[in-house]
Amino acid sequence: MRKYIGLLIVILTLNVSVSRADDATKLFYTLRSKILTVKDYTADVNMKIDVSFMRIPKLRGTLYFKSPNKMRLERHGGLSMLPKKNINLTISNLIPAGAVTVIDLGNVMVKGKKLRLVKVIPEDDNNNIVLTKVWIDEANLLAVRAETTTRNDGTVIMDLEFGNYITYALPDKVTIYMDVKDYKLPKGVTMDYNNETPTVAVKDKTAKAQKGTIEISYLKYAINTGLTDAAFN
């Protein structure tokens, strides 16, 4: 009898595990579908870029985005500067496209809030994304953090804070932690910069010096207005 009871417990445990895995997969696909409903947006933003080798004044401007990876910053009154690989400024490009394998890592507490943590692995070997961890607010169907490891761009971590645009899964504030070894000064860096000139600091070759933080506060969005490619030329 004990043998059969033990077998029954194992079967029930396996069924629960499979059920949770299926639930996590469905949760991720539903979240991704919500994020991808945003085809384009124009947003008034304040941006702070903190990198070790340059001191940059705070930026204020308009950020244009068109799915899947077009982005342009129009700075108000000065030079526009973004990392070369600025597609990582959007959550839609930090989660894998196509078929994926989702591993449920269970519930975790972050800042007093219960979140569902999932690990997402692309099934396409040619995908630039190797692995993504997503911390999901299940109640509001939001990705509040993503940690993405890529083949070419290192690891990018994005923290998102939401308020007015939860329906579209668009954040009010984003903090991005990324490898900035590919950060490139645009031509004309010595041009007028609202009476401030970005100054280049002494380069440090340590790993710590290769990290940077970008903070973006979104003040107002215009969503799915039908931006054309011409807006990014």
Domains of the chain with bracketed CATH? 2-224 (2.50.20)
150: which strand partners?
129
161 pLDDT band (50/70/90 cuts)? Answer: very high
pLDDT in tens, 61-112: 899 999 988 888 888 865 555 555 554 678 888 899 899 999 999 999 988 8
Q: Is the pTM of this model over 0.85?
A: no
How do residues 174-206 score in pLDDT, each as one tens digit? 999 877 665 444 433 333 334 444 444 444 444
E runs forming strands in 53-154: 54-55, 59-66, 70-75, 100-110, 113-122, 129-137, 142-150
pLDDT band at 214 (very low <50, low <70, confident <90, very high): confident
Alpha-carbon gap, residue 45 to 216, rounded angstroms: 6
Confirm if 60 and 79 have CB atoms less than 8 A apart: no
Q: How many helices (H) and strands (E) does the chain have?
A: 1, 12
45 pLDDT higher than 60: yes
Q: How confident is the model at residue 2 (pLDDT cuts 50, 70, 90)?
A: low
